[in-house]
Amino acid sequence: MAGTVAGAACNDNAGDGVTGAAGCVAGVCALTDNESSATNSAAVRAAVSAAVNPAVSAVDSAPTAVSGAIPGAASHARDRGDRTEDIKGNRRAGTMAMQRKTAQERLAWSTDWARQWAALSGVATQDTPAGALYVVATPIGNAADLTVRALWVLSMADAIAAEDTRVTRQLLERYGLAPPVLLAAHEHNERLAAERIVALLRAGERVALVSDAGTPGISDPGARIVAAVHAAGLRVVPVPGASSLLAAISAAGLTAQDLHFLGFVPTGAKERARRLDEAAALPGAFVVLEAPHRLTDTLVSLHAALSPTRHVVVARELTKKFESIKVLRAGALADYAATHTPRGEYVLMVDADTAAAPTAAAIDATTRAWLRALAQVLPASKAAAVAAKATGLPRAMLYDALARTGGADA
């Protein structure tokens, strides 16, 4: 009985934002602990719905409308066609009340606990404009990292554009979501996918863009689609969340203030070495992403490019069961590569070179002349490396000297 009273109080106080949500949760907890009848389950859903959006009750106060919203992908798929038509009609009518009624119906994706999270977060009261592209971050390994807002947006989307529809479908099914349209948007069809997405947005649809894992557009497909939507004068809404880049940096303990993101380095040995030589000469830290089948080659290249005492953080399988974050000296990278079997995706972070180094004034006239001569026949990074071996001076300082005198290549 206490739970029923608390649930009723939730309906009475729903207009009071936080108070309504708190009363709702109290009612849900009491009902869950003490009573389990179908009648009380319906009361819970009605209470949570009222706390999420008090205007829902004003539009459609029948408890059966809420209790009839059975969680699960199957019911969601059956109802979605009618709901899509309602959405189109609501947009034409442009009434907030009708939009809120549709939001109530879209709660069908959630279970009672998910409704509680929706109520507490206030996501249902936030603006979710039509005709916008939502760039949604998805988990990089741990499915629990999908945010409440991401779930809400994915449930509201009229179409979801995915890097791999098979991967995304598995994620959606885990949470009981069934979008009316699931279309492919990967690196091989980005132009055509962008055209289709822009057309959907111009028709007033909401489109969610996701990659297989993490945030779209960061070393993943999606940037061209976002650029096309901007070029069409349409709205892009970020829905932030998991990112291997930010997760790795947060756990690396880098001391540098400047950070350079290289993404995936070239696969060719010469181009990879050149890119890492240039990165090693940059001030601050830099970050490289790498696949397991290329890890050994990249670690060996880093070993050659960096001073032996420079700190390198090797992170793999972030947020997964076998997550590993290891801090090494650059001089140990070759041994690490030889003794470890690469598994999973890697984020390699090289901290700033904090070793004391001579100033540029230590470069005498003869060394400067040799440095300029070498730069005429070699890339600046390689010229600095050769001069460093011959003189014992830091390569970063020699490279910087070339850059300041106009000898460094672009």
CB atoms within 10 A of CB 6: 20
- Is there a contact between 316 and 343 (Cβ–Cβ < 8 Å)? yes
Beta strands in 267-407 (DSSP E): 285-290, 311-316, 324-329, 346-350
Beta strands in 240-345 (DSSP E): 259-264, 285-290, 311-316, 324-329
CB atoms within 10 A of CB 391: 17
Task: Write the burial class of residue 154 (CB in 10 Å: 0-12 exposed, 13-18 middle, 19+ buried).
Answer: buried
pLDDT score at 298: 96
pLDDT score at 362: 63
- Is there a contact between 296 and 327 (Cβ–Cβ < 8 Å)? no
User: Of 397, 217, 380, 211, which is closest to residue 307 (Cα–Cα)?
Assistant: 397
Q: Which amino acid is at 302?
A: L
Torsion of CA 74, 78, 80, 84, to 10 degrees: 170
347 Cβ contact list (under 8 Å, min separation 6): 244, 245, 247, 248, 287, 288, 289, 290, 315, 316, 318
CB atoms within 10 A of CB 309: 11
pLDDT score at 262: 94
pLDDT score at 98: 40
How many angstroms separate the CA atoms of 288 and 308, rounded?
18
How many angstroms separate the CA atoms of 2 and 10, rounded?
12
Q: If the chain, 410 residues long, is cut into consecutive pieces of 10 residues, what is the mean pLDDT of each piece?
A: 37 37 37 37 40 36 30 39 45 41 45 76 90 97 93 93 94 85 91 95 96 91 94 97 95 92 93 92 92 95 92 96 94 92 94 67 78 86 84 78 62
Half-sphere exposure of 102 (CA within 13 A, CB side): 26
- The DSSP bridge partners found for residue 207 are 133, 159
Can you say whether the dihedral through the CA atoms of 370, 372, 376, 382 is positive or negative? Answer: positive
Phi/psi of residue 361, nearest 5 degrees: -65, -15
256 Cβ contact list (under 8 Å, min separation 6): 284, 285, 351, 352
pLDDT score at 389: 81
User: Of 95, 4, 90, which is closest to residue 42 (Cα–Cα)?
Assistant: 4
Residue 193 is inside which H or E element, if any? helix 190-202
pLDDT score at 406: 61
pLDDT score at 119: 83
Phi/psi of residue 132, nearest 5 degrees: -125, 150
Phi/psi of residue 316, nearest 5 degrees: -140, 155
At residue 367, the 3 state secondary structure works out as helix
